[in-house]
């Protein structure tokens, strides 16, 4: 993909839907995105439940598993969309961890809305940039816009619009409920990561010494992070721990002991949006090399009891890729029972995105002599 114009033309040719013109004569990106969602569903390229996604000839494959905790309905949900945007070299993955009375509805709404909204904004940004700089080289050193700039802009617009839409949703009460959203778009040999909340993305890669190591790709947006706390306090919100929960920092309204949210970024939770909670994502990118093996997306129930290194060792030592996410969840359940006895177990959800086809990549098990287990 050398120029914006050729990239956008290729996108337009990649799906056979009728272009709808708006008043300005440009392609209706929203309708195009909606049509792509319908087409992907028909071809069974979107997975929203536990399972395994693999397309013949693709480097991408993904294992998904979710388990309800001990707090009621499972408020986690996930998505994998192979061939995202009708592009053979693209895949979209996400984990959404809801909280509050309506958290499971909020999480599902954001999961269902974000992919098509992101596609819509991505197409619009590509089109606008192509008009401004029709011959601009994406890979050139003097580029004003880059692929990363396009995806970051698209994600920022998407998260803002999804959150605004959620606020006015007639059937979902998100005043005291919300969700995290950790998502990845892989485009060729580059991954773009967007994070809102305290779910986490971890990469398994091979070090120069030949061992498998974990690289955390995202920040856990907790209220006690200096930049997060500064913003919250600047908006008259409060951050402190309850006496019976030392070390668990929460966000509170100025004059009441509510809501006590244990993260600093989330969709929904409008009771505290004016006091420093935001839905602005952190967007980053990473170029994939032959040393990079897979990425784990997981809700905080996993990371509360499993370290990054333990997680990648569990996945890498799983003989069959389709079982990787389930095995990680099962090990986390065991760890919870050991480390947090007497505390209600949280929901646990995992997406394992494998970055190379199983035939072209070396066996991951050679990097790990034994799996990490919890008795």
> Contact 276/232 with Cβ under 8 angstroms?
yes
What is the average pLDDT across 324-331?
Answer: 98
pLDDT score of 218 more than 90: yes
- Measure the N-to-C terminal CA separation of the chain; round to a whole number of Å: 50
Residues ≥6 apart with Cβ < 8 Å to 210: 367
Sheet holding 238-241, edge to edge: 238-241, 249-252, 259-261
Write out pLDDT tens, residues 283-296: 999 999 999 999 99
Average pLDDT over the chain reads 87
Strand partners, 80: 47, 93
268 Rama sector, left if φ>0, alpha if ψ -120 to 50, beta otherwise:
left
Write out pLDDT tens, residues 19-37: 444 444 345 778 888 888 8
- Band of the pLDDT at 38, cuts 50, 70, 90? confident
| Phi and psi, residue 130, nearest 5° | -65, -35
- Band of the pLDDT at 143, cuts 50, 70, 90? low
The HSE-up count of residue 212 (CA atoms within 13 Å, CB side) is: 26
> Contact 86/45 with Cβ under 8 angstroms?
no
The Cα 123–Cα 334 span in angstroms is 44
Write out pLDDT tens, residues 244-280: 999 999 999 999 999 999 999 999 999 999 999 999 9
- Band of the pLDDT at 41, cuts 50, 70, 90? confident
What is the average pLDDT across 294-305?
Answer: 98
Torsion of CA 254, 255, 257, 258, to 10 degrees: -60
Its CATH architecture, for the domain 34-128+146-220+264-352, is 4-Layer Sandwich (3.60)
What is the average pLDDT across 85-96?
Answer: 92
Helix (H, G, I), strand (E, B), or coil: what is residue 318?
coil
Q: Which helix (H) or strand (E) holds 12?
A: helix 4-13
| Least confident interval from 49-58, 104-113, 329-338 | 49-58
Strands 212-216 and 282-287: unpaired
Nearest CA to 166 among 93, 113, 97? Answer: 113
User: What is the structure's pLDDT at 135?
Assistant: 54
Q: Where are the domains of the chain?
A: 34-128+146-220+264-352
Please give the share of the chain, as a percent, with pLDDT higher than 90.
73
User: What is the structure's pLDDT at 131?
Assistant: 72
In a 10 Å sphere around its CB, with 0-12 CB exposed, 13-18 middle and 19+ buried, how is residue 254 labelled? Answer: exposed
Residues ≥6 apart with Cβ < 8 Å to 195: 181, 182, 183, 201, 218, 219, 221, 265, 281, 282, 283
| Phi and psi, residue 11, nearest 5° | -65, -45
pLDDT score of 7 more than 80: no
- Band of the pLDDT at 58, cuts 50, 70, 90? confident
User: What is the structure's pLDDT at 129?
Assistant: 81
């Amino acid at each position: 993909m050398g120029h914006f114009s050729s990239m956008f033309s290729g996108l337009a040719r990649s799906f056979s839907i009728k272009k709808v013109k708006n008043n300005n004569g440009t392609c209706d990106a929203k309708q195009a995105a909606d049509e792509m969602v319908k087409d992907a569903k028909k071809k069974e390229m979107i997975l929203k439940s536990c399972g395994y996604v693999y397309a013949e000839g693709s480097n991408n494959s993904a294992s998904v598993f979710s388990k309800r905790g001990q707090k009621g309905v499972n408020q986690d949900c996930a998505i994998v969309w192979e061939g995202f945007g009708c592009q053979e070299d693209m895949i979209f993955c996400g984990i959404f961890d809801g909280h509050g009375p309506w958290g499971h509805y909020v999480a599902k709404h954001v999961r269902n809305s974000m992919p098509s909204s992101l596609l819509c904004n991505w197409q619009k940004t590509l089109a606008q940039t192509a008009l401004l700089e029709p011959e601009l080289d994406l890979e050139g050193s003097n580029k004003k816009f880059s692929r990363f700039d396009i995806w970051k802009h698209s994600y920022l617009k998407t998260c803002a619009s999804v959150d605004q839409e959620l606020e006015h949703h007639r059937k979902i009460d998100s005043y005291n409920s919300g969700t995290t959203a950790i998502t990845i778009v892989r485009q060729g040999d580059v991954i773009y990561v967007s994070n809102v909340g305290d779910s986490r993305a971890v990469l398994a890669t091979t070090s120069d010494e030949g061992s498998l190591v974990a690289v955390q790709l995202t920040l856990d947006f907790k209220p006690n992070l200096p930049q997060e706390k500064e913003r919250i306090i600047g908006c008259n919100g409060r951050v402190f721990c309850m006496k019976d929960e030392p070390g668990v920092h929460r966000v509170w309204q100025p004059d009441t002991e509510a809501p006590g949210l244990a993260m600093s970024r989330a969709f929904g939770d409008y009771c505290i949006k004016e006091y420093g909670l935001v839905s602005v994502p952190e967007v980053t990118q990473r170029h994939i090399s032959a040393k990079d093996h897979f990425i784990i997306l997981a809700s905080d129930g996993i990371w509360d009891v499993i370290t990054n290194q333990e997680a990648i060792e569990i996945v890498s030592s799983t003989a069959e890729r389709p079982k990787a996410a389930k095995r990680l969840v099962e090990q986390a359940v065991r760890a919870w029972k050991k480390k947090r006895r007497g505390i209600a177990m949280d929901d646990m959800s995992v997406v394992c995105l494998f970055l190379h086809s199983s035939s072209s990549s070396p066996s991951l098990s050679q990097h790990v002599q034994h799996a990490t287990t919890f008795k």
